[in-house]
Amino acid sequence: MTPTKYIDRPIPTISLHEFDARVDEITSELVDAAENVGFFCVIDHGISRETVDSIFDQSARFFSQDDTTKARVPFSPQHNAGWEKNAQIRPSTGAIDRKESYQMQFGAGMNGRWLDEDSLPGFRQKALDFMHQVQGVSEKLMKCLARGLNFAEDHFIKAHDVSRPESQTVCRLLHYFETPKLPNPSGEVFHRAGAHADWDFLTLLFQKAGQSGLEICPGREVSTSFGYGDAWTKVEPDADKNAIVCNVGDLLMSWSDDRFKSTFHRVKAPSEPEDFYGERYSIAFFNQPCTDAEIQGPLKKYPLVTGGEFTRNAMNRNYKALQEKLKKEEKSPSVVTQARISVEREAI
């Protein structure tokens, strides 16, 4: 196996300390990070490490339920919410990610998709409290990003109003399974999250100390392209600084006329001795626009679309890329069928 090619790229760390007084400085740091790397770490964001640790405890509590219990809140493609296991296939790998995830939303999309209080007392309220805190940090970043693009300060905040029934914002709890250590006799690759770009506006990711694996590969020029390079940079969890890893998604790339970069990233399939093979937990908060939000960049590079249309277009593009990949690799029809189901399910 050829060793992974790594290069060092600085990933900016941006402090939100004294946000109101420093908003100009923070805006220019954010714009610089969004234009050049697409990934940045946010610190001094106001969510305590205890809060983050306690939501990870809730996540472990959810995933430790047996599969029959979790299957009572199955993933719904229509609502982009609920639990799924070994179901997501990325066009970059043509194979399933070895993980389970539980996607939560703020509103009606969750009807029937919360586990009942008897199974998991207190879970729902704790999850929603956390999601509101992350929404608060997201709104600070949205304010700066809007200023950076000369939109009204509340332009992105209004489009991502989580109190409206049209909200599509998702908080995804992720649990990657332990991977067998080398040598792996079957030669099978255990993908965790195959290389992809996110479709949303901005992703805020929480990681656990020591559970590495996230890697990025910048260099994409337009939000509609699929290509990526072959040199990776590790984004290690920084629990001491309680950093939130943020990345620009395709929606913000297109909303900025491709000025801000939505960067390819993955959770590496552990395959080299120094990789992390253990079970891994992470939490991704995907800021998604309301279905009726109107999306167009200041230079009008792309035609105006609604939040609903943007998501549909992204899914269709993903589906086509996956079909091409599977055709090229002559995967069996059963894999294709499985993939079709899974991509239709995938909304991020």
Nearer Cβ to ligand AKG (251/267): 267
Residue of 142, 193, 322, 343 interacting with ligand AKG (CB under 6 A) = 193
Residue selected from 79, 265, 325, 345 as contacting ligand AKG according to rule CB under 6 A: 265
Is residue 205 a contact residue for ligand AKG (CB under 6 A)? Answer: yes
Q: How far is CA 247 from CA 12, 14, 37, 128, 148, in A?
A: 11, 13, 9, 22, 16
Site membership for ligand AKG, residue 100 (CB under 6 A)? no
The residue number whose beta carbon is nearest to ligand AKG equals 282
CA distance 345 to 340: 8
> Contact region for Fe ion (CB under 5 A) — 19-27, 83-91, 198-206, 295-303?
198-206
CA–CA distance, 193 with 213 (Å, rounded to integer): 9
CB atoms near residue 241 (< 10 Å): 14
Number of residues that bind ligand AKG (CB under 6 A): 10
CB 124, min distance to ligand AKG, A: 22
Name the minimum Å distance from CB 303 to ligand AKG.
Answer: 26
Given candidates 34, 89, 142, 174, which one binds ligand AKG under the rule CB under 6 A? Answer: 174
Is the CB of residue 173 less than 8 Å from the CB of residue 208?
no
Q: Which of 213, 222, 232, 347 has its CA nearest to residue 274?
A: 213
When binding is defined by CB under 6 A, the residue of 84, 100, 198, 250 that contacts ligand AKG is: 198
Cis before 273 (ω within 30)? no
Backbone angles phi, psi at 58, to 5 degrees: -65, -40
DSSP 93-108: TSSB-SEEEEEE-SSG
Question: Which residue in the shown chain puts its C-beta closest to Fe ion?
Answer: 198
Phi, psi of 172 (to 5 degrees): -115, 115
Q: Which of 135, 233, 282, 311 binds ligand AKG (CB under 6 A)?
A: 282
* Cα–Cα distances in angstroms (integers) from residue 159 to residues 78, 154, 167, 171, 291, in the given order: 20, 9, 9, 17, 9
Binding mask 147-186 for Fe ion (x = CB under 5 A): ----------------------------------------
Q: Is 200 in the site for Fe ion (CB under 5 A)?
A: no
Residue burial 294-332, b: 16+ Cβ < 10 Å; e: rest: ebebeeeebeebbbeebbeebbebbbebbbebbeeeebe
- Residue 198 as a binder of Fe ion (CB under 5 A): the answer is yes
* Residue selected from 73, 284, 295, 314 as contacting ligand AKG according to rule CB under 6 A: 284
Distance of CA 66 to the CA centre of its chain: 25
The listed partner (Fe ion, ligand AKG, none) that binds 305, CB under 5 to 8 Å by sort, is none
CA distance 191 to 188: 9
Tell me: does residue 346 bind Fe ion (CB under 5 A): no
Q: How far is the CB of 332 from Fe ion (least distance, A)?
A: 27
| Residue 100 in contact with Fe ion, rule: CB under 5 A | no
**267 scored as a contact of ligand AKG (CB under 6 A):** yes
Residues at the interface with ligand AKG (CB under 6 A): 174, 193, 198, 205, 207, 214, 265, 267, 282, 284
